[in-house]
Structure 1
Amino acid sequence: MHSQRVAVALSTLLALSSVPLLAKTPVAAAPGASATSCPAIPLAAADAGAVRAPSGADAWGGPRKADAATLSDRVASYSIDAELDPVKHTLRGKQQLSWRNRSAQPVCSVYVHLYLNGFDGPGSTFMTEQRASSSGFRSNVATKDGEYGYIRLDKVVQNGAPAKWSFVQPDGGPKTDRSVVRIDLPQPVAAGATTTLDIDFFDQLPRVVARTGYYGSFHLIAQWFPKIGVLELPGERGATAPRWNAHEFHLHSEFFADFGSYDVRLTVPKDYTVGATGQQVGAPVTKDGKTTHRYVQHDVHDFAWTADRRYAKPLVKTWQGPRGPVEVKVLYTPDYASNAEPVLQATIDSLDYFSKTLGPYPYKTATAVVPPYGADEAGGMEYPTFFTADSTKMVEPGSIGRWMLDFVTVHEFGHGYFYGILASNEFEEPMLDEGMNEYWDQRMMTARRQDLALERPWTRWLGIGTRLAPFDMERLGASLSDPADPLGRNSWARLSSGSYGTVYSRTATAMRQIEMLVGTPAMERAMKLYYERWKFRHPSLADLREALAEGTGKPAIVNGAFDAYFYGTGRTDDRIESLSSREVLPLPGYHEYKGKPVLVDGKAIDKAIEKRRKAWKDKHPEAKDGEGAFPYRTVVVVRRDAIKPPQTLRISFADGSHRDFAVTSQESWQRFVVTTRAKATSAQLDPQGLLRMDASRLNDSRTLESQPAAARRWFGDFTALLQSFFALLATI
């Protein structure tokens, strides 16, 4: 019987293989076959990313004015009714999608993301890339039979007329990928006009993986509804003609969407607690053992929610912000009750920090979810006004668990600004969200004086520093010695998952270097300018570059860093090649005396040297070693590899003094020669720690004699052994 069932199943699968597995409506004809012909609009290229041309001043409708009627230029809005079956882990939804054609030409086809199909089986682009990843993804929980998920279109109607659709692979992924669908419209959408699509859909949620799904009664429901792509216009993010931006759901990519309004009604069993994007409107309505909750949020570009019967009473507090009160809520299960208060406080602290350093938080709610035991894959994910934090049993201040709990909360809240309000394209330029957010998060952690505590008995025995500052931690995972890809490259065309991970740490490190070189006040002015200019407008990498160059007033530093690290794979590794410091003593031979050459032999020279030394010592009884009657000639050779930013060489001397020299050569080496009254004791590159992108600090200094400090400095980079631990941060 078993073999018979397998044979039947295989024959059925083969019979279905010629049609889209999840499509109910027949596959559409080729593009352009609509009743009214209109020019085809191409898709963004599969290698899009690292935009170099700044967007136009009027891109995305121009900068948002303080007196504008809405925070954003609302393009795509959703009205959704959805009902969850928490036993089968399924969801049935009805959706009205209103979309405005911003272009100057009619549109006959639209592209829609069906993100949940990234988890429908081994044939998706997401899972194909996951299998090929040598370094894994997040915690690498395997999806077993019966744990896959998908989204199915059951109906798409425009003005009462059914639309046809077909699956496409814009990035050249496997034909079995169904994460993007082209919908051919019965009626073209005229330039400037708005159309509404009525869509019925069905979700089978996966066992929680990649930030969405179920575990027991816990449900994190994200990437769950049909979501229209973005039609970009000339002068927006490097576009020179209208184009659809709708990439496949890749392993490391996330999202890009238009701003709009969401009005969502969620029906769950009455004993389930719900949390979601936006504000709850009206009292929940209970009928036949089910409760419907309504959430509304304007000026966002996504919507996610959670439901669980095990949630404790939410922890709620009001934060008084510059734009009025904000309801801060933490959802948690009893097994992690100890996490609720730290997450709440870190969220409130983040609201305060980001509002002061970038711009006022514009929404009325902020909801954090602490995933229950067994649902770790749901942790560390962001959606507008709603995010998931970490969970830990180690909540004692100073513990690694508490540090992670606080940092993940700060990080996921921070996405609300970089992914949420600035809304950069995470497919094509992930560093604008993940990297820039990581940079600003670590500035906040630094302001909090929240170093990572490493103290253990064995570290004390080895003499290793017991605390790791936030930006020193970032350097560990930044692949500074061998960067494989430019930071501005898209999320999937990379050497490895590890290379994608450097989007976080290497971006934060590069930005910290820019800050150190231009000065913190200048960087803070520039970041406020960037936020004010591009909030609700989808900036590109070039737009960030221009704002930083203008805001800091140091375009040479900014442009140099962007060319080297964001558009290129530049590495920096300046090092002290050699250090010598020797007395300048008189030598035997002919010396001029009263206009005539006089031969002075070695014995006479030695006697004269000894006499002069004794006289000097008698006169300077408190002199230190390295000070004497004769000057010292110090020679330092600096070797320079690859990117050669200007920096400082500091030579320190036995008398406690030091002298600084500008290291500016663009050759592979630069020699410094100086004669002083005291012997040199050490040479140090970048004594102020400005060059964060230097591949190794172990070779940045050299001493003439062994000193305990040198051993401690050597052990400073021992923390590189923690790199695998910090690599986990690149998955949140």
Structure 2
Amino acid sequence: MRLATGRGGLWLAAVVLLWSGQALAQTAAQPAAAAATDAGGEIPFAPAHDTMITQQSAPNAWGGERTGNEPTLSDRVVSYTIDATLDAPKHAVTGKEHMTWRNRSDRAVSSVYFHLYLNAFQNEGSTFFTERAVEAANGGSRGLAHLKKGQWGWIRLQQVQQNGAALKWSYVHPDGGPDADQTVVRIDLAQPVPAGGTLALDIDFLSQLPRVVERTGWWGDFNMVGQWFPKIGVLELPGERGAAQVRWNVHEFHFSSEFYADFGSFDVHITTPSDYTVGAVGQLQGAPEQKDGKTTYHFMQADVHDFAWVAAKDFKTLDGSYEGPGSPKVAVRVIYPAEYVASAAPSLKSSIDAIGYFSRTLAPYPYHTLTVVIPPYNADEAGGMEYPTFFTSEGYKEVEPDTANQMASDFVNIHEFGHGYFYGILASNEFEEPILDEGLNEYWDNRMLRERQQDLVLASPFTKWLGITPHLKGFEFERLTATLRHPHDPLAQNSWDRLSGMSYGTVYSRTATAMHDLEERLGHPALEKAFKLYYQRWHFRHPSVADFRAALIDSSGDAKDVDEIFNDYVYGTRVMDDRVESVDAEEVLPKVGVSWKDGKETEVVADDLDKQLDKQRDDWKKAHPNAKPGDPGPFPWRSTVTVTRDGVPAPELLRVTFEDGTHEDVTWNDDRRWARFVFTKPSKAVSAELDPDQHNLLDTDRLDNSVSNKPDGAASKRWTADVAAVLQTLYSMLVTL
């Protein structure tokens, strides 16, 4: 998901730097020793706060590794058959849902828990709005649209039946949220579901979309329908994602959280006005059926864990396709409003390119469709959101090559498609471990940009006209927004127990930076191989951070470097800051005083030594009449470089450059807080730089990584020339006017 106007990636992550929020709402007590249990249930909830997982899952978790020989891509736990009808003027959806769910546990289940995500938007007493208010009071944040009368959203259960018997339900608060929150509901069953048995429920519901707040909602005749149906929670078993016992993982809808659900299948009929354009997760089954000014669309998709759709009047479509080894032919469709026609073709291209890159570097894309939705103006909060085979992007009225708009469009499309792997196929728990989706996806997106040699462009059409097109490497920009100097929360922390929205935002940039540095330590091919092993083990399952760490170690064989990154940054909040303190040089000259050689005493006095040195210098100049400044002289030089360290150690390369243009590299790879390196050379050292190839982007201050004793005005001259060029252009414009 895209940060800032929805969530974010590389381009809009800069907004993080402007946020000054100090605390997210803490709506419950601090971490408890044991998981809470709902008063009406027998199975405990997953912990609300103590969510960091350090023990890897059991080999048979979620049915064990998928080999490709199974009859289905995933172990389908749940299925939904839904008939949905959109009341376009009211932006409301009437739904009839038939759900089947398999009890994977070894015990009977008498109550089940469902997410009712839309209730986050029904009033300001929800967990979502309560946490949002705290964030807003401390400096502002994303998603701060103010809902007015008639703009709230909610979902109402109208009837729930099990085998024809009406069931009762009640709202619960697994995370200790406010009593007004109704995003989690317990349904008490008429007949318990035995171990290994299957539950079937029939649910009538009404979903009222909010004015677009975040992820979902309406604006004008645009309806983004996400998190709109009652969705069952996940029953985790011992050995799965840190669980020591059977437990319900069914968190409230927090302000900074996303989602988590079982794999299954969806069979959905959607009825809308006939003049609306419709797109959804999955494949359209046959031709849409029209009757009385309404059209019914039938979509199906298996081996996914969510379903979303869009219905918008007067939207247009642009179609393309992807074909690649191991994948079915993928039909790619962009749905867009007329005002953003400029974004349609670039979005189609970058999405198809993303399918190819992720298919080649992780595994072939397994689905037949991909739908990209560009929301209209004033519905930005619906943009930048991912669902399986379906995502929302963002639109621009102009998308010219090598401009900031093109970069933003490309990155959002790549980022949201990438979620199809890290959130979709590698179905991590986004509530508890956003690092596994937002963080790893951000890292892989930047690898794709690096391969494309596509930098962050800080230019607009106007600045291009002025002849100014500044660029910045993707990983360099991630580093700038990663708050490396004072991280408040570990990367493995859940999404809501964080100091601020700014701290949550670093899940993107700080993870990308940490993975970049791990890649530099392990090597580019080794790191890619490790990610492929992670995917192989955990696709169509639900990994944890500990499972990701184990895959990195098992693939690379380098437990030391992996553990350092995880202990310091993933599970910890440590910082790195190495610097070059000084570069000193002195000629190696004979010394005054007494010395012994071959049993004889020799004394050198200062006056005699000065005369001797002067003669040697004169003789050398006569012998080297064409010598230039910096060439080796009559005496060698002893240069001393002092480096110091604050924070955690990291392997460092120190490059020392000498006056004659040569350089020498030495490695500083120990846990000393300071070190001195001495060089005796024909020429003196004039500069020293730590990490000249920028392997360690986690270094909090790279400006102190180098010291030079030789003035270099190239940078100031370049910037002066750039500024002068801009001023000359502006003056020319004024004269013309």
Which moved further from structure 2: 593-602 or 118-127? 593-602
Which of the numbers 304, 315, 319 marks the counterpart of 2:318?
Answer: 315
SS in 1 for 2:428: coil
2:121–2:210 Cα contact (<8 Å) kept: yes
TM-score when normalising by structure 2 = 0.89
Hey, what does 1:686 align to over in structure 2? 691
Structure 2 residue 209 is the aligned partner of structure 1 residue 193: no
Which of the numbers 357, 373, 380 marks the counterpart of 2:377?
Answer: 373
Higher-RCO chain (CA-CA 8 Å, sequence separation at least 6)? 2
2:341–2:397 Cα contact (<8 Å) kept: no
- Counterparts of residues 639-718 of structure 1 (less than 5 Å): 639-708=644-713
Hey, what does 1:586 align to over in structure 2? 590
Which moved further from structure 2: 315-324 or 363-372? 315-324
Change (3 A) 1:457 1:591: farther
The one-letter code of the counterpart of 2:502 is G
Change (3 A) 1:454 1:288: closer
Deviations 1:670-689 (A, max 9, x none): 22222222100111111221
Deviations 1:327-378 (A, max 9, x none): 0000001100111000000010001000000001000000001111111111
Which moved further from structure 2: 54-63 or 39-48? 39-48
- Give distance in 1, aligned partners of 2:215 and 2:541: 26
Hey, what does 2:79 align to over in structure 1? 77
Change (3 A) 1:691 1:639: same
2:457–2:469 Cα contact (<8 Å) kept: no
Hey, what does 2:208 align to over in structure 1? 204
Change (3 A) 1:101 1:457: closer
2:305–2:388 Cα contact (<8 Å) kept: yes
2:328–2:367 Cα contact (<8 Å) kept: no
SS in 2 for 1:558: helix
2:38–2:172 Cα contact (<8 Å) kept: no
Which moved further from structure 2: 91-100 or 584-593? 584-593
SS in 2 for 1:368: strand
- Counterparts of residues 109-124 of structure 1 (less than 5 Å): 109-124=111-126
The one-letter code of the counterpart of 1:647 is E
Structure 2 residue 279 is the aligned partner of structure 1 residue 272: no
Which moved further from structure 2: 356-365 or 638-647? 638-647
CA offset at residue 255 of structure 1?
0.3
- Give distance in 2, aligned partners of 1:705 and 1:245: 61
SS in 2 for 1:118: helix
2:38–2:44 Cα contact (<8 Å) kept: no
- Counterparts of residues 601-612 of structure 1 (less than 5 Å): 601-612=605-616
CA offset at residue 48 of structure 1?
3.8
Hey, what does 2:633 align to over in structure 1? 628
Structure 2 residue 246 is the aligned partner of structure 1 residue 232: no
CA offset at residue 588 of structure 1?
3.1
SS in 1 for 2:507: helix
- Give distance in 1, aligned partners of 2:585 and 2:555: 44
Change (3 A) 1:210 1:31: closer
- Give distance in 2, aligned partners of 1:516 and 1:294: 48
Hey, what does 1:730 align to over in structure 2? none
TM-score when normalising by structure 1 = 0.90
- Counterparts of residues 269-348 of structure 1 (less than 5 Å): 269-312=273-316, 314-322=317-325, 323-348=327-352
1:278–1:365 Cα contact (<8 Å) kept: yes
SS in 2 for 1:350: helix
1:698–1:714 Cα contact (<8 Å) kept: no
CA offset at residue 287 of structure 1?
1.5
- Structure 2: tracts of 5 or more residues without a match: 1-36, 721-737
Structure 2 residue 363 is the aligned partner of structure 1 residue 359: yes
1:276–1:305 Cα contact (<8 Å) kept: yes
Which of the numbers 51, 54, 60 marks the counterpart of 2:53?
Answer: 51
CA offset at residue 642 of structure 1?
1.5
CA offset at residue 695 of structure 1?
0.6
Hey, what does 1:534 align to over in structure 2? 538
Hey, what does 2:486 align to over in structure 1? 482
- Give distance in 2, aligned partners of 1:610 and 1:433: 69
SS in 2 for 1:549: helix
Deviations 1:670-720 (A, max 9, x none): 2222222210011111122111211111011111122135759999xxxxx
- Give distance in 2, aligned partners of 1:244 and 1:615: 88
SS in 2 for 1:629: coil
Structure 2 residue 265 is the aligned partner of structure 1 residue 245: no
- Give distance in 2, aligned partners of 1:459 and 1:610: 59
CA offset at residue 553 of structure 1?
2.5
- Give distance in 2, aligned partners of 1:148 and 1:59: 40
The one-letter code of the counterpart of 1:97 is M
CA offset at residue 136 of structure 1?
3.2
- Give distance in 1, aligned partners of 2:229 and 2:621: 85
Change (3 A) 1:642 1:608: same
Change (3 A) 1:250 1:472: same
2:38–2:45 Cα contact (<8 Å) kept: no
Deviations 1:204-225 (A, max 9, x none): 1110111100000000000100
Deviations 1:564-613 (A, max 9, x none): 11000111001111221111222333344774444433332222112112
1:48–1:428 Cα contact (<8 Å) kept: no
SS in 2 for 1:84: strand
SS in 2 for 1:253: coil
- Give distance in 1, aligned partners of 2:204 and 2:418: 34
CA offset at residue 656 of structure 1?
2.1
Change (3 A) 1:697 1:457: farther
Which moved further from structure 2: 335-344 or 169-178? 169-178
Number of positions where the alignment pairs a residue of Structure 1 with one of Structure 2: 678
- Give distance in 1, aligned partners of 2:469 and 2:390: 37
SS in 2 for 1:353: helix
Hey, what does 2:168 align to over in structure 1? 164
CA offset at residue 465 of structure 1?
9.2
CA offset at residue 459 of structure 1?
10
- Counterparts of residues 497-646 of structure 1 (less than 5 Å): 497-592=501-596, 595-620=599-624, 621-625=626-630, 627-646=632-651
The one-letter code of the counterpart of 1:627 is P
2:640–2:677 Cα contact (<8 Å) kept: yes
Change (3 A) 1:145 1:614: farther
Deviations 1:111-170 (A, max 9, x none): 110000111111011111111113433353222332111111111111111111111111
The one-letter code of the counterpart of 1:140 is L
CA offset at residue 455 of structure 1?
5.4
SS in 2 for 1:627: coil
Deviations 1:20-65 (A, max 9, x none): xxxxxxxxxx9687xxxxx811000011433111111111001112
- Give distance in 1, aligned partners of 2:88 and 2:461: 48
1:31–1:109 Cα contact (<8 Å) kept: no
1:393–1:401 Cα contact (<8 Å) kept: no
- Give distance in 2, aligned partners of 1:84 and 1:549: 50
Hey, what does 1:21 align to over in structure 2? none
- Give distance in 2, aligned partners of 1:464 and 1:401: 15
